[in-house]
Chain A
Amino acid sequence: MASKAASVAVDFSRIYTSLGLGKETIASLQAFRKRHNEAQRLAHQYNNQPTTVDFAHYRSILKNQAIIDEAEKVLKEFKPVTYDVNAHVKAIETFEAKAVAKAKETEEKIDVELKELQATLANIEQSRPFEQLTLDDVAKAHPRIIETVETMLKKGKWTVPGYKEKFGDLNVM
């Protein structure tokens, strides 16, 4: 009953549109829903079919009573085959556990992404115009530049090759 209540409560159209799921996930979800609906329809159909046989009626219209006796005997002896659904339930449970774990993983991933995005947003909001940037700001944003400068200093290179040709210098002589 609980599963039925849950299936009623689930708003699939909202899940498709608002959760931002992948195409594959939506397709499998739709397939699952279709399968569920089909199973429900079949169960309903079979539940409505009569399960008893009116042997008295057949006895009155058929001449061969032996065959009716035999049919009645067969029907009484018939026992529906019982299926062991535990294996299926187990498979479903493992699938559910996997799905939940995956969902949690996705949630964590999204959380991390969200934090990064918020950091980026804060960065954008707090950014200053280009004219107000200092050397330290740029160097902090690109630590590789500091590394380059340090290696150049270690190698005793105190100028950038091609700098003077490009930008000139303040030397009078």
Chain B
Amino acid sequence: MPQLIPFFFLNQIVITFVILFSVIYILSKYVLPSSLLTQVLRTYITKLSKKNV
């Protein structure tokens, strides 16, 4: 039944979306905030050490 062929890709679509959203979630919740914290802290510490010199 050729009209059913699109549905053969449904599992791929589901998996793709699951992976996409979990990657977005992990990035926005854990990875990027920690990198932002690193950047902020690095800026802060550099300012501190320059102030002390």
Interface size class on chain B is 10 to 19
A159 within 8 Å of B (CB atoms): yes
Contact check, A139 vs B39: say whether CB atoms are below 8 A apart.
no
Contact check, B41 vs A159: say whether CB atoms are below 8 A apart.
no
Binds B, one of A32-40, A79-87, A146-154: A146-154
How many residues from A make CB contacts under 8 Å with B? Answer: 18
Contact check, A163 vs B42: say whether CB atoms are below 8 A apart.
yes
Contact check, A158 vs B32: say whether CB atoms are below 8 A apart.
yes
Which residues of chain A are near B39, meaning CB under 8 Å?
Answer: 159-160, 163
Contact check, B36 vs A135: say whether CB atoms are below 8 A apart.
no
A152 and B46 CA atoms in complex are apart in Å by 20
Contact check, B36 vs A153: say whether CB atoms are below 8 A apart.
yes
Which residues of chain B are near A149, meaning CB under 8 Å?
Answer: 33, 36-37, 40
Interface residues of B in 1-53 (CB under 8 A from A): 32-34, 36-46
Closest to A159 in B: B39
Q: How distant is A152 from chain B, measured CB to nearest CB, in Å?
A: 6
Which residues of chain A are near B46, meaning CB under 8 Å?
Answer: 166
Contact check, A160 vs B32: say whether CB atoms are below 8 A apart.
no
Those 5 A-B pairs whose CB atoms lie nearest each other, nearest first: A160-B39, A163-B39, A149-B37, A138-B41, A160-B43
Which A residues are closer than 8 A to B by beta carbons? Answer: 135, 138-139, 142, 145-146, 148-149, 152-153, 157-160, 162-163, 166-167
